[in-house]
Each structure stands twice: as C-alpha cells, then as structure tokens.
Structure 1
Amino acid sequence: MSVSSVFKEFCNNLMILESEKIIIYRRFSCICKVLNMKYWNLKSGYGGMFIGAFGRKTAIKGNKVIKIMYIMPDTIRNKCFRHNSNPQLEFLIDVKKTINQIYPNARINKDRQTIQVSFFDDMTIHIIPVFKNFEKFVYADISLEGCWKVIDPVSEINAISIGNKSTGLNFVRLCKMAHAWRINCSVPIKEKLLETLAYNFLFQWEGKYCSYNRYDIMCNNFFKYLKNLPSSQKKWEVLGSHQIIYNPENFKDQVNLAYFNSKKAIDLEKNNKYCLARQKWRTVFGNEFDPLIMEKRIKKKYGELILNYIKNRNIKNLKHKNNIIMKLQIIFWICIVLSTLIICWLC
C-alpha cells in the first residue's frame, strides 16, 4: 500500500464509530431531559451542548471522556448570586441531585468543577452547568471559597472549524493523529494545548493544503516543530478562546522519540522497506495505524506453525516408515538365515 492509502486508512480508523455515537447521544439526551424538566419545565431531550474534544470534532475512536455544557435559566443565577457563602457549591449540589434521579452515581468532581457520571463501559460524562454571559459563559469554581469563572468553548469550536476549512480538512486530521500519538505514548500534554500547537504548526508550514501522500512528511515536521519549542515555555494561549493554559509537564522525551521514529519510517519507505516502515509508524500512533500489518504477521506466524507441524509430521511418518522397512529387512534376513540352516540340517 502507498503512503497515501495507509494514512487515509489510518485517519478513517480514528473516526468515532456510529455505535459509540449512538450511546453518547442517548446518554446526553437523558441528562438534558432531566435537567430541562427541573430547570426549564420542558420535556425535551435537547438543550445541552457538547464541548471538549467531542464538541470540537477532534475526538478519536475509543474516546471515553465526554464533556457537556448545559445553560441554566437566569432565575437560578439570580438566586445563586444572592447567597453570600459559597453559592457555587450549593449550585453544583442542586444540579447533581437532579442528575442523581437517573444516574445515582453522579458526583461532583472538584478538580474539573463538573458533575461527573461514570458508566460500566468506562465512559465518563462531565456536565458543566453554566450561565450565559453575552457571548461567553460563567461556570462555578468551588475551589477555596468559591468563585465564578468565564469559559468560551464556542469560540474554540468555531476556530477549529474555520482552521479545518482553511487547510483542506488537514487540521482536524492532524489533531486526531496527534491525539492517537498522545494516547499511545502517554504524552503529558493537554488536549486543547496539543490542538493549539497543531494549528500553530500547520499555519506556518508550506504544505498545509497537502494530500494524504505527504502526511508522513507532515507528521514528521509537526514532531520537529514540537521538538524545537523552548523547554522553558510552560503556558500558552488556547486557540479561539485565548484562554491561558498551563502545561508544566515536560513532554520533550516523547516528542524526540516520535520525531526519530517518524524520520526512520520515512527513510525505510524510501528504501522500499514498507513493512518495517509501517511498524515504525505503529510505535508512534498505536494499533489503529495499518492494523493489517498485525493481521499479516499473525497469518504469517500461523502459516509457519502449520508448515512446521506438517514438516514434523512428515518427518515422524518418514521415521515410522523407515523403522518398518528396517524391521522387514531384519525379518527377511532372519528368514534367509533360518532357511539356510534348515536346508543344511536336512542335507
């Protein structure tokens, strides 16, 4: 298979399955329905909004963390703002109790400032109840004595969409491949930061409109871009919302390894060592990259085992036949000797 075919198949493999989407939307609808009934007196299953990687369309197959933003009515906001002592916590507790009606295990996640619902299939849904504040949204932060903070996920979603159209759909594909690398190699980097860096790289790279046949070069150049980032930089401005995001963890070791392996894969391709090249890419991106390689290797191993079995069986059969022939020869010579002795005795 060509570079173009392999990377096209890889990007297709990263797409969220329809079966996964059905489960996500069903749970989303259940949550929205119970919140709508409590806070808006509506029987609709709509009203919330997907944010996070799933909302930005950059999530990949197997994504287990789903974020939902739910807009609350102004009457609740007025009630909350009248409280003097940590109204943020009371606000989240009230929303949590409502969700407990359908999901008893719903709890407040103090680290994420969300109501978290965990499911038997390892999926986790985080609900962020918000109030609309012009074009942005206000959410409850319950750390310390509590406060209200602003988020702007809509601007992030719009920026991703515009960036994707401006690069011939290459931007979202690069984000998804980068997430596959992040998960496969346990890279300590936040989703939004990785997408922001992918955007910064792609819009300064001369091949941002490239087709699949240059995706190997694009990935290698992206890792080179990450490799050359200053090690001292610990904070960035997020694409779209311009929120300042901190990422103190050092991810340079994983970047250097990805750059080396991707460069090695390209060199192997140039030398027509396609199978070895695919294996190198798999060390970067994981099992979704050209899964046929594993299938071929399993088939090859299975074929070798069958051949060895047949060979050993043939050897055993041959030995068995040789033993029979030897025994027959011995019996034949014994008969000759006995016949000779009998003839001599009779004479």
Structure 2
Amino acid sequence: MTKELFEQFRKNLAVKNSDAISKSYRQTTSKLNEKYYELDSEISNCRQVGSYGRRTAVHGVSDLDMAFILPWEVYDRFNKYENNKQSALLAEIRLILKEKFPNRDVKAQQQVVSIDFTDYIVEVLPAFLNEDGSYTYPDANDGGQWRTCNPISEIDETNSLNQLKNHNLKRLCKMIRAWKNDHGVPMKGMLIDTLCYQFLKGTTDYDTKSYSAYGEMTKDFFAYLVDIDQEKEQWRAPGSGSIVTKSGNFHPKAKKALRRLQEALDDPEVAHERWSAVFGENFPEYVEEEKRQAIARNEIKNLEQFIGQKFSLDIHYNLEIDCTVKNEGDQLRNLMSRIGLYKIPKQRELTFYVKHINVPPPFKLYWKVRNVGPEAIRRNMLRGQIQMDSGYHQITEHSDFQGEHYVECFAVKENICVARGRIVVPI
C-alpha cells in the first residue's frame, strides 16, 4: 500500500496548469525580445528560475520566477543615470510589459517586475549574463545597487543530486511543500529545497530506494529537521552558495510531524491516517468502509472544500487560532495542555478567534469547520465548507456531537493563501 499511496501523492502534487504558465512565460518573453533584441522569439533569452525552474514546485504555486537576459548595452545606458539607475530600469520594463498586458496589474518591485495573472504571479528578473554564468541584476532598495546571483547553478546542482538519489530529491521537496502548505509552516521554498538537498546529500540510505521507502525517508527527514539547532538562521543554497534564511520557527510543527510519521511506521493500522494528517489534502484519500457504504447509498454528501482548490498557496506567515469554551474557564489549547485527555462537553458555546497573525494588511480571512467521525456520518453532517470571515476575526460554533473535529483559519492576500492555522476540537 505504501508504494501506491506515495506514487499517487506525487501525481497529486504535480502542477496542473503548466500550459497556462508556459503561455504566460512565452508572451512575456516575446514582448521583451521584441523590444530589446528586435527578435521574434518566445523562448530566447528567458530562463525559468525559482522553484518552478528547479522543478520542485507543486500545484498551486503562486510566484513564478523568470530571468530575462538583457544586452549589456542596456546596463551601460542605465548606469549613466545619476539617481536610482536600478529603479529606472525596472520602470522601463514595467511600461513595456504593461503595454503587452494592459488589463493586468503590472508592478515594479525592488528587484523584479511582477505580472498578476490572477491564479499566479510571474516575476521577471532583468538580468545581465556574466562570463561565469552568474547574473547581474538591479536592486532598487536603499537608493539602488547592482547585485549578483546564480540561479542556474542552483538548478544544475539540484538536478545533479536528484539524479544521484534516484529522483528522490525533487519528490521530497514537493512532499515537504505539501506539509508546509497544509500546516501553515513559515518556510520559503528555497529553504525547503536547501534542507532537503543537505539531508539527502548526507545519507546513502535512499540512493536506490523509491516510493515504497517514502514512509521511512520522510520520517528520517523530519528527524533531521528537528535536530537542527533552533538558533540557526542561515544556510547556503546548493550550487550558488547564496545565503538562505528562515522566516519563522519550524521546529514545533516538525516535531509533531515526526511523531505522526513514526506512529505510521509502528502501526500499519493507523499509517494512512497519520500520513494524511502530515501531508494534508493532496495525500490520497482512504475512505472508511462505513463512509463508503453511506456514500454508495447516497445517504450522505461530503461537502468538504480545500483551500488549495480555491486559492494558490504560498505559506510564509504565521497564523494561530484558539478557542474560548463557555463555562470552562480557560482557552481550549490551555485545557488540552493542562488536562491530558480533555474533551469538550456537549452543548458548549465555542468561540474560535485569531490569537496571532503577522500577515501585513490588507488580507482576507476564511474559516473552515470540519466534522468527522461515525456520528458525523450517521447525522449526515460531514461539514468542511470554507466561508469568509464576517470581519471580526472570529466565529462561533457549538459542541453538538462527539468526534475529533477541527477548525482552520486562512489568510488570503492578493488571491494567495499566505498563512493558515488549525486547532483540533475534541468533543
């Protein structure tokens, strides 16, 4: 079963709108080639970079990076400017692309020009190719300066180790993205790819293994993650050696994932449930027999919705929710921490609220209340719809029936889910 589940999991994570993405890249490239080279080409002078270029992105990827190689004469022209040369270059490219996409939001932003295609954003990095294969690019911050990067060496090194490790590197990167997106872990894609690279580079255990060993491989990766010094803030990217920083503390959620993955290995009876808990909505569903029969009899409808089907996912902010249990005298998280097997009594009023969020405004909040378990099936109450917040950053529910329910909250900014929080609701 392990092999089939993880193989399907990998397929579920594949980027499904690649044709639309490729069209956006081609249109952008064609316009810039026409302007700077008088060339009719949709592919010349363009390189896909970032997670999409490294082929470690998953479906729902929101930021798509491309480098467009400009002639050095353009650098010479802008370098003669007295004031912010880099800002002027970005402004020129913005005007060119706005002409191509008049109905799109096109912005010049610090180092890139972004084009909002609604379901994703293409970020164009204007680049000048150096002899060593690195790029010189503009940074408009703090009065402007020229910087260098080498994303192609990152792609090449990722590809190289991926081949040596039987294609397991990129698959591991994608699985960890699924965990990050499902649990709201503040980790950027480059950090995920860097840590997966370092983990597999440091072991030979999975050099010839494949899907049937992914239960063990993911468990070992999370053990590696948990062992990282919590004070460590920087790593070096594969290939380029560029500094990669962390944007939040991933240790607590990594510890929880490690515990669940170990339980999956120790007890085959709970393996699927634990893997689903770690990897989320893209992990293949296993329908319990009772639920399968009820669905077959058309007695229930599964109304669950998933945030990744409504918005692109790019989790890199923190969002924590808690719950006030009326007449219990404390918050739900404190009650569960203080009382080992605490269960909420029936007929209690529950107020779920945002306890902490660091997403810069403006953003929108959405809530999901999920009922699960045999009683939810019998009562035809398998809820799970996603609803917009009323404006008060809280929702009120009632503990009507027994089960291991949960509530989630999502922060959506510019059509991208950038933070999510979850709390288990044991009744």
Whether TM exceeds 0.5 here: the answer is yes
Q: Is 1:184–2:182 an aligned residue pair? A: yes
Cα root mean square deviation, aligned: 2.0
**1:238-285: per-residue Cα shift (whole Å, max 9, x none)?**
11100012215211111111111111222221xxx1xx3212111111
Higher RCO (C-alpha 8 Å, min separation 6): 1
Give the drift of 1:187: 1.1
One of 274, 277, 291 as aligned partner of 2:271: 277
Give the drift of 1:50: 0.5
Q: Is 1:21–2:21 an aligned residue pair? A: no
TM-score (norm 1): 0.81
Contact 2:9 2:284 in 1 (8 A): yes
More strand by share: 2
**1:48-77: per-residue Cα shift (whole Å, max 9, x none)?**
111011100111122222111100111111
1:32/1:163 Cα in 2 relative to 1: closer, same or farther (>3 Å)? same
The separation in 1 between residues aligned to 2:64 and 2:81, in whole angstroms, is 31
Q: For 2:92, what is the secondary structure of its paired residue? A: helix
The separation in 1 between residues aligned to 2:243 and 2:93, in whole angstroms, is 28
The separation in 1 between residues aligned to 2:293 and 2:146, in whole angstroms, is 60
**1:74-115: per-residue Cα shift (whole Å, max 9, x none)?**
1111101111211000000000000001223211123xx211
Unaligned runs of 5+ in 1: 308-347
Equivalent residue number for residue 92 of structure 2: 94
| 1:145 aligned partner, one-letter code | G
1:304/1:205 Cα in 2 relative to 1: closer, same or farther (>3 Å)? farther
The separation in 1 between residues aligned to 2:24 and 2:9, in whole angstroms, is 28
Equivalent residue number for residue 216 of structure 2: 217
The separation in 2 between residues aligned to 1:83 and 1:77, in whole angstroms, is 10
Equivalent residue number for residue 133 of structure 1: 130
The separation in 1 between residues aligned to 2:65 and 2:178, in whole angstroms, is 19
Q: For 1:69, what is the secondary structure of its paired residue? A: strand
One of 74, 77, 91 as aligned partner of 2:75: 77
The separation in 1 between residues aligned to 2:127 and 2:187, in whole angstroms, is 26
| 1:13 aligned partner, one-letter code | N
More helix by share: 1
Contact 2:186 2:247 in 1 (8 A): no
The separation in 2 between residues aligned to 1:152 and 1:263, in whole angstroms, is 38
| 2:85 aligned partner, one-letter code | P
Give the drift of 1:5: 1.4
1:98/1:173 Cα in 2 relative to 1: closer, same or farther (>3 Å)? same
The separation in 2 between residues aligned to 1:116 and 1:147, in whole angstroms, is 19
Unaligned runs of 5+ in 2: 301-427
Equivalent residue number for residue 240 of structure 1: 239
Q: Is 1:302–2:272 an aligned residue pair? A: no
| 1:205 aligned partner, one-letter code | T
Contact 2:175 2:279 in 1 (8 A): yes
**1:144-197: per-residue Cα shift (whole Å, max 9, x none)?**
110011010000000010000111111111111111111111111121111111
% identity of equivalent residues: 27
The separation in 1 between residues aligned to 2:72 and 2:27, in whole angstroms, is 23
Give the drift of 1:294: 4.9
Equivalent residue number for residue 57 of structure 2: 59
Equivalent residue number for residue 287 of structure 1: 281
**1:15-50: per-residue Cα shift (whole Å, max 9, x none)?**
222xx1110111111111111111111121112111
Equivalent residue number for residue 205 of structure 1: 203
TM-score (norm 2): 0.66
The separation in 2 between residues aligned to 1:95 and 1:295, in whole angstroms, is 55
Alignment length, in residue pairs?
297
The separation in 1 between residues aligned to 2:92 and 2:241, in whole angstroms, is 31
Contact 2:179 2:280 in 1 (8 A): yes
Query: Larger Cα Rg: Structure 1 or Structure 2?
Result: 1
Q: For 2:143, what is the secondary structure of its paired residue? A: coil
